[in-house]
Amino acid sequence: MSAEAPVTAASRARTVTIEVNGRPVSVVEGVSLAAALVGDRTWTFRRNPVSEEPRGPFCGMGVCLECEVMVDGRPGVRACLTPVRPGMSVRTAGAGEGS
């Protein structure tokens, strides 16, 4: 899929580099952080605090709070409402689990 994933691999669009769990990821300028992560095939954004199950973005409009990640050290940032900025550092709960 990554070969066609337009946001991460498009040659026609200007891209910026963000850091996802310590790894540089190139994404189209200005897209939502949720799209950037999904385009990078990262679906585990967080773990449910009760069940510890992996969770990913669900509603895409700021209601469900399942897409909360840590951005530049600030927790609880809703990725679906946050446009990417060059150099932003993102941590998901799925870090280091191969998800």
Give the interface with another protein as residue ranges (CB under 8 A). 1, 4-7, 10, 12-14, 28-32, 34-35, 38-39, 43-45, 48-51, 53-66, 76, 80-83, 94, 97, 99
Task: Tell the smallest beta-carbon distance from residue 99 to another protein (Å).
Answer: 5
Taking CA atoms, 2 is separated from 11, 40, 42, in Å, by 13, 7, 12
Query: Toward another protein, which CB reaches closer, 1 or 24?
Result: 1
Element (H, E) at 16: strand 15-20
CB of 89 to another protein, least distance (A): 18
In angstroms, rounded to a whole number, what is the distance separating the alpha carbons of residues 1 and 57?
A: 19
CA distance 66 to 62: 9
For the bound state, the minimum distance from the C-beta of residue 22 to another protein, rounded and expressed in Å, comes to 19
